[in-house]
Amino acid sequence: MAKLDESRPFIPVRIAVLTVSDTRSLADDKSGQTLADRVTQAGHTLAARDIVTDDREKIRDKVLGWSKDETIDVVITTGGTGFTGRDVTPEALEPIFEKRMDGFSEVFHRIPYDKIGTSTIQS
């Protein structure tokens, strides 16, 4: 894997973290908290954090709102990607994609495969 080019200046970005869950709150949202912590530990700014239920419209509205907010550069979502009927994050967000990055998905699944096995297909 290529190393970071240390000669280039670090440019922090403002990142929003959205958890999709019917059962979590900010107080017990481990995955969202982990992402928020890693954002700030990496030197970036946590611009926003929220939780919405597994509802296509709520998910889409939150992500679209954040994507139009000039104080947010990146939106990261977690949750709502399982196989139950309530897990609708991909279906909620795919209609608003401007571009697909299919190769990214393959790498995204390959890296955790060694650690968690086939459970990675839920992501």
Residue spans per domain, the chain: 14-122
What is the distance of C-alpha 31 from the center of its chain? 10
Burial 58-73 (b: 16+ CB within 10 A, else e): ebbebbeebeeeeebb
pLDDT tier at 28, thresholds 50, 70, 90:
very high
Of 68, 63, 64, 53, give the one whose Cα is nearest residue 20: 53
Superfamily grouping for domain 14-122: MoaB/Mog-like domain (3.40.980.10)
pLDDT exceeds cutoff 80 at 106: no
> Looking at the predicted structure, is the pLDDT value of residue 123 above 90?
no
* Tokens found for residue 88: 């609708």
Does the pLDDT at position 57 exceed 90?
yes
- Residue 34 CB partners (closer than 8 Å, separation 6+): none
pLDDT surpasses 70 at 121? no
Task: Record the tokens describing residue 111, joined without a space.
Answer: 């890296």
| Alpha-carbon span 27 to 69, nearest angstrom | 25
pLDDT over 90 at 70, yes or no: yes
In this prediction, what percent of the chain has a pLDDT beyond 70?
89
User: pTM of the predicted model, to two decimals?
Assistant: 0.80
pLDDT digit string, tens, across residues 9-26: 999 999 999 999 989 999
